[in-house]
Amino acid sequence: MPHMFLTYLRRELRRRRRTAFIVASGLALGIALVIVVGSVSTGMSRAQEEVLESLYGLGTDMTVTKAGPDPEDGEGAERPRFRFDAREGEEEQSTERLMVQGFRTLDADTVDTVAEQDGVAAAAGGLNLTSVRVDGEFDPGEPRGQGRPGEPGGRIEGGGADFRVDTRTIGGVDVRTPGLGPLTSATITDGRGFARDETDAEVAVVDGAHAESEDLSVGDTLDIAGTDFEIVGIAGAESDQPAAQIYIPLESAQKLADAEDAITTVYVQATDSQRIDEVEAAIHREIPDATVTTAADLAKTVSGSLGTAAELAAGVGRWLSIAVTAAAFLVAGLLTSAAVGRRVREFGTLKALGWRSGRITRQVVGEAVVNGLLGGALGIALGCAGAYVVTAVGPTLTATPAADAGAGGPGGADGPGGGALRALGQTGERTLDVALTAPVDLRTVALAVALAVTGGLVAGAFGAWRASRLRPADALRRVA
């Protein structure tokens, strides 16, 4: 029986090559479009990851920060004050203040709360600080006229002040979890990183660009708010902007900022990238006033042709693929049904010779599935060729961070890549160029094969339904 099935199948496909080619071609076009759109979407995702890494220096799956207070709360309204004595003459005066970035902190216990959620592989806390140092001198001037300054007839001539303001970004790193935190987006280029037992040590890792501008090297001493830190390593940022200019152990940062048991950010690593939404929802339930920021949130802040193309690929491209594939399935089914209609005498005669309806149905479905597989093979070839052309041409797309990125962007100033967001805000709008590729992965090929089989089954179902309704009398009427 199987031998007869295959023999008849081969003979009918060879005899009806034109019909088979038309059905296979229709399925091939739909499958090729699905492959091209899927490959371009994959390329878009990779381009977005490249851009996000370059703009924000992502080193984690998501971050948790404290939501901004309502204006009427008054929280975070206090700002540091710098006081100087104008009577000191021309002696240089200096003062430094450490401020928590965003003026919003979470309790350190938040890290444990986040780590306990299902789908969280690891969590670590971080404290992002800004150091503001003011150096300069006053010239009190010379009294002139009668009386003392402030009294009738008294006045001061000359004098003035000459001050400069230097800012540095400082990242408090949990040295016990070296795989998480702001330092993960950088690579140690000289010296070493932090040791796990240096939880409150006075050691620092400095960003390479900052070290070069300040002429710092491994072994030098760095003064932070009156405390000397030994530079043990130089870090080169893998992104265009570092998360911080100076990294120190978290507990040391908390002591310097007088922020014991306080953090600004929880860096979270999920057990599976598919569970990020689930983890985000769980964190919101446990910590209602938290802001959870993921790479998807940051992607929404990137505009330009990359964002437009990604939206088209994800929206219009997907629906176009679905529409074309559905149309290809329908056309294949109708063509197969019409082909069965032209074989009335053949199937009627076979029924008269003893073939049951089930055997004829299996024969029709087998022919349709083979046509579907042929269409799938042709579609995979066309789709891979189209993806290759897109990759070879390599159209250049642009990506521009949101205009308010310097104000904190998603997740605030303490969100992922907060240092980069602030740096972007200081340097103005910048645009990155990225070449689009269209890689074809195994999942796309597997989807194409599944569509080919599905298309064959759909076409076979149409034909089988038509064949099952044929009677030997219909064949006899055709013969007459």
- pLDDT tens figures, 147-173: 555 555 556 665 666 777 888 999 999
pLDDT at residue 404 is higher than 50: no
pLDDT at residue 390 is higher than 70: yes
CA pair distance 128, 263, nearest whole angstrom: 8
**Poorest-confidence range of 44-58, 94-108, 466-480?**
466-480
User: Tokens 């959870």 label which residue?
Assistant: 292
Report DSSP state, residue 343: T
pLDDT 10s digits, 1-17: 555 556 656 666 666 67
Domain ranges of the chain: 2-57+305-479, 68-288
**280 CB-near residues (< 8 Å, 6+ apart):** 62, 292, 294
pLDDT of residue 302: 65
- For 81-226, strand residue ranges (E) read 92-100, 106-107, 120-139, 142-144, 155-157, 160-173, 186-191, 203-207, 221-224
- Residues paired with residue 234 on neighbouring β-strands, in sequence order: 190, 206
pLDDT of residue 426: 37
Single-letter residue type at 393: V
pLDDT of residue 422: 38
- DSSP run (H or E) holding 64: strand 62-66
The structure's pTM equals 0.59
Handedness of CA 220, 222, 227, 229 (dihedral sign): negative
pLDDT 10s digits, 189-224: 999 999 999 998 999 999 988 999 899 999 999 999
pLDDT of residue 414: 42
Mean pLDDT value across the chain: 74
CA pair distance 209, 226, nearest whole angstrom: 23
